[in-house]
Amino acid sequence: MTDATQSGPMLAADGTPLKKSLARSLRRRKLRALALIAPLLLFVMLSFVIPIVSMLMRSVENGIVAETLPLTVVELQNWDAEGGELPDEALYAAFIKDMIVAVEAKTHTRLGTRLNYEQTGMSSMFRKSGRNIKRLDPEADAPFKEKLIEIHDGWGDVETWRTIKTHAVPITNGYFLNAVDMRRTPEGAQAQPEDKQILIKLFGRTLMMSLIITGACILLAYPVSYLLATLPMRVSNLLMILVLLPFWTSLLVRTSAWKVMLQQQGVINETLVWLGLVADDARLVIINNQFGTIIAMTHILLPFMILPMYSVMQTIPPSYTRAAKSMGATNWTTFWRIYFPQSIPGIGAGSILVFILAIGYYITPEIVGGTKGVFISNRIAYHISSSLNWGLAAALGTILLAVVLLLYWCYDKIVGIDNVKLG
Amino acid sequence: MKVTITTLMASALAAVAGGAMAQEMTIVSWGGAYSKSQLKAYHEPYSEKTGITILNDDSSNEAVAKLRAMNEAGNITWDVVDVVASDAIRLCDEGLAMEIDHDTMLEPAPDGSPASEDFGELIVSDCYIPSIVYSTTFGYRTDLVGDNPPTEICAVFDLETYPGKRSLEKRPINNMEWALLCDGVAKDDVYDVLATPEGQDQALAKLDTIKDSVVWWSAGADTPQLLADGEVVMGSTYNGRLFSVIEEQNQPVAMLWDAQVFDIDGWIIPAGLDEERKQRALDYLRFATDTQRLADQAKYISYGPARASSAPLVGQHAELGIDMAPHMPTDPENAKNTFLYNYEFWADYRDDIDAKFQAWLAQ
């Protein structure tokens, strides 16, 4: 009877309310789980998230102008860039003061490199002028306007000062504009001259060719995976090794092997000429173009399609197809209505893997792509290691990342990410 | 925060490595036959002399980008870096390489003249110690050109006399100059013309006449392979690569030295090394860039020593036993018509012209 009168919350053995006690033990378990994944989380944060975010930040960072020329930037605010008149003596004096400090710290050439991305000639102008400005005294040698123009006539060009003013902002959209074939000018964003437009085209080509490669992978991988999943274990294991062997071979070796196969004096052409199918002076051009890139990349990415497809197909019970056939379905109907729908999650998983890998490829296109088969990643690599325009490289990378995320979102809306299975 | 963590880790590592570090230095170069020639001519004798272990890192290709990243992370792991002249100028511009006083830090020539005179105008940057002169030039298949082997650069643009593919580097540098030369521009005017948009269009228009017959390369090993396989009838690459195709692999290939473009390869010391490492790097470079050592390198690879005083000492190939002097790009017979890579020009115009060039390629 005592139980019935006690209408309060249910108590645990030690007298605390059961709900509270349960929550506490759940929290403890959650903390333990968190502690278990903490090393991984920390590792991913330090080695993946932070570097990527800091790299992406470079696409808008532009503190270098204001840091190197602080006094000049202030003076530039008072100067009318549209007037077509050169700045007055005050600005030149401020510029000399800034430059003397910058030359001492050797940051003026770095600024020259930065501004050279915007106006050709800035790099040598800063380097050459630095040597002479070092000898000037900020008090005794005034006025500077004439002297500076004598050192380099670029300082007597209104365009020079307009460029510095345009790019003096600490956070810039300039790199992103460059990444979509536009540029930041005093009059606002404008299109690049036509003979320098290339990046939009490369983005389009990268997406298009990645889709083609994904499609080719689906077509080639489906029958192979089907065989692997339905053949007896002994045979399918052997076939599996054939799939995995190239997967374990170095990327460069496989790409170079395609070079030997596809070039005009290569294996395929030689064979076709020997068979008389192709005239000796009309050998096929199947490398150093888009075709070469598609062939080599399809081959390299094929295992990424086969493996998820295979593991999904293995889980499809053969009794379903037998049941369909026993009820009078033709082979085609059985496949199309029963088998194929169940294998779609494998296609989905494989396609996402292959597409995302393909979109960032650059070694293979560089080697077999010639001029028409290169991807946007090749330009990113160029700007990272050759031109050192890391801001532009970061902007291109950010756009590529955004495009992938957008496509992923579309995929989720259309197909549904729940329909993706790796086995 | 990233910087502090990296520095902490670096100092921890340094503390652990401690004594071992003192006897090691990391030298960065290009790998392959070139690194081998440096190993034989510089590293091995130096290690023998001093007991210092030299670690090789074949990263010269990305040296500028990597040094910039190391500098930002505050942890420089390289002691001496081999780079081409244009990269040395950029590293110096960015403050990533140490300034060198050539006369006090390097050995004088055997006749006593100071190093800066011995190297002469090859010292293109205050941070740079040149070691070799190489050239970018053409090789052609002797069996594919009939009885009329090409003798001058414009054969590259002559599809009628020399049908077949050519390989050119996938960048504007050198190609634009050659195109203008063969389009009637005088040698002295090439860079003035190339500085104008019209001149750039003119060069691209000339390249357009052979565009369909060009295989574009991006690695120095491409042209030798294409020549050896008979894919191309002629192609540009570094002269040392052609030497090995011709003399070491005995392929039916010959050199077309006309209008070869000289470039320099040499050393820089990264800025920001501690005093001990800096002294060690300088000691190594004093040894490795003296007159005899530079001449020794030419025993292993066909690049010309950067010191004037080394030229008379160039001997025979260490394995093939052939005289190396006639294979040097600087040999008077080969150097009748040459170009020196215009560093100043390309430092300014490289981004601008490269954008145009790539857009033209993609058309």
Q: Is residue B332 part of a domain?
A: no
CA B60, CA B50: separation in Å to the nearest integer? Answer: 25
B84 pLDDT above the threshold of 50: yes
Q: List the single residue in A112, A127, A197 with the smallest CB-CB distance to B359.
A: A197
* Structure tokens belonging to residue B321: 């036993």
Q: Which residue of A has its CA nearest to B350?
A: A387
Q: Which structure tokens are listed for A422?
A: 């790796």
Q: Give B-chain residues touching A47 at CB under 8 angstroms.
A: none
Using a CB-CB cut-off of 8 Å, the residues of chain B touching A197 are 359
Q: Is residue B259 part of a domain?
A: yes
Option in B5, B65, B359 nearest A388 (CB): B65
Domain annotation covers residue B202: yes
B357 and B236 in one domain?
yes
Say whether both B231 and B321 belong to one domain: no
B64 part of a folded domain: yes
- Write out residues in chain A with pLDDT < 70, as ranges: 1-7, 422-423
- Is B333 inside a domain boundary? no
CB B178 within 8 Å of CB B209: no
Please tell me the distance in Å from B268's CA to the nearest CA on chain A: 17
Model confidence pLDDT, tens digit, residues B328-343: 998 889 999 998 889 9
User: Where residue B22 falls among pLDDT bands split at 50, 70, 90?
Assistant: low
Q: CA neighbours within 13 Å on the CB side: how many for B269?
A: 24
Please indicate if any CB of chain B lies within 8 Å of the CB of A235: no
pLDDT at residue B3 in the model: 46
Residues B49 and B100 in one domain: yes
Distance (Å) from the C-alpha of residue A395 to the closest C-alpha of chain B? 16
Tell me the average pLDDT of chain B.
Answer: 91
One domain, residues B10 and B67: yes
CB atoms A109 and B92 under 8 Å:
yes
Mean pLDDT of the region B151-168: 95
Supply angle C-alpha B148, B149, B151, rounded to 5. Answer: 120
Cβ contact B351–A116 (<8 Å): yes
Mean pLDDT check: name the lowest of A222-226, A414-418, B263-267, B351-355: A414-418
Task: Examine the domain organization and report whether B217 and B358 are in the same domain.
Answer: yes
pLDDT score of B6 more than 70: no
CB contact under 8 A, A121 and B93: no
Q: Which of B66, B225, B273, B259 is nearest to B153 (CA)?
A: B259
Contact B126, B99 (CB under 8 A): yes
Task: Pick B231's closest partner by Cβ from A123, A263, A374.
Answer: A263
Q: Are residues B211 and B313 in the same domain?
A: no
Q: Are B153 and B88 part of one and the same domain?
A: no
Average pLDDT on B61-67 reads 92
Closest CA to B363 of A181, A369, A292, A197: A197
Residue B354 shares a structural domain with residue B223: yes
The CATH number for B118's domain is 3.40.190.10
Specify if B322 maps to a domain: yes
Q: Interior CA angle at B280 toward B42 and B82, to 5°?
A: 50
In our burial notation (b when 16+ CB lie closer than 10 A, e otherwise), range B180-202 reads bbbbebeeeebbebbbeeebbeb
Same domain, B202 and B300: no
- Range B103-112, long-range pairs (CB < 8 A, 24+ positions): B105/B282, B105/B285, B105/B286, B106/B285, B106/B286, B106/B289, B106/B290, B107/B286, B107/B289, B107/B290, B107/B291, B109/B291, B109/B307, B109/B308, B109/B309, B110/B291, B110/B309, B111/B309
Say whether both B98 and B141 belong to one domain.
no
B30 and B155 belong to one structural domain: no
Question: Given CB atoms, is A372 within the 8 Å cutoff of chain B?
Answer: yes
Which residues of chain B have a CB within 8 Å of the CB of A196? 352, 355-356, 359
Over the stretch B270-293, which tens digit does the pLDDT of each residue have?
Answer: 999 999 999 999 999 999 999 999
pLDDT recorded at residue B33? 85
CA–CA gap between residue B187 and residue B337 (Å, rounded): 10
Burial class (CB in 10 A: 0-12, 13-18, 19+), A56: middle
Q: What pLDDT is recorded for position B20? A: 45
Q: Which residue of A46, A109, A123 is in closest CB contact with B348?
A: A123
Cβ proximity of B237 and B139 under 8 Å: yes
**Which residues in chain A touch residue B352, judged by CB atoms under 8 angstroms apart?**
120, 196
Q: Give per-residue pLDDT as tens, A50-61.
A: 988 988 899 999
- The tally of domains found in chain B comes to 2
pLDDT at position A135, please?
86
What's the pTM value of the predicted model, to 2 decimals?
0.88
Answer whether B90 sits within 8 Å of A388, measured CB to CB.
yes
Mean pLDDT of B341-352: 90
- Whether B337 is covered by a domain: the verdict is no
Verify that B113 and B206 share a domain, yes or no: no
Q: How many CB pairs under 8 A join A and B?
A: 88
Q: Would you say residue B296 has pLDDT above 60?
A: yes
Using the 8-state DSSP alphabet, how is residue B127 labeled? T
- ipTM for the predicted complex comes to 0.87
Could you tell me the residue range of the domain that residue B162 belongs to? 136-263+342-362
The separation between CA A72 and the C-alpha centre of its own chain, rounded to angstroms, equals 37
Residue B218 tokens read as: 């991006």
pLDDT for residue B18: 44
- Asked if the Cβ–Cβ distance from A385 to B218 is below 8 Å, we say no
pLDDT, tens digit (0-9, with 9 covering 90-100), for B177-206: 999 999 999 999 999 999 999 999 999 999
Task: Flag if A265 and B351 touch (Cβ within 8 Å).
Answer: no
**Virtual CA dihedral for B273, B279, B280, B281, nearest 10 degrees?**
60
Q: Which residues of B touch A (CB under 8 A)?
A: 2, 5, 61-62, 64-65, 68, 90, 92-95, 165, 170, 201, 215-216, 218, 229-231, 344, 347-352, 354-356, 358-362
| pLDDT attached to residue B165 | 94
Structural domains of chain A ordered from first start:
64-171 (no CATH), 199-419 (1.10.3720.10)
Q: Residue holding tokens 């510089």?
A: B42
Is residue B307 in a domain? yes
SS3 B14: helix
Inter-chain CB proximity A265 and B229 less than 8 Å: yes
| Partner-chain residue, chosen from A121, A198, A366, that has the shortest CB–CB distance to B358 | A198
Given an 8 Å threshold on Cβ–Cβ distance, is A198 in contact with B359? yes
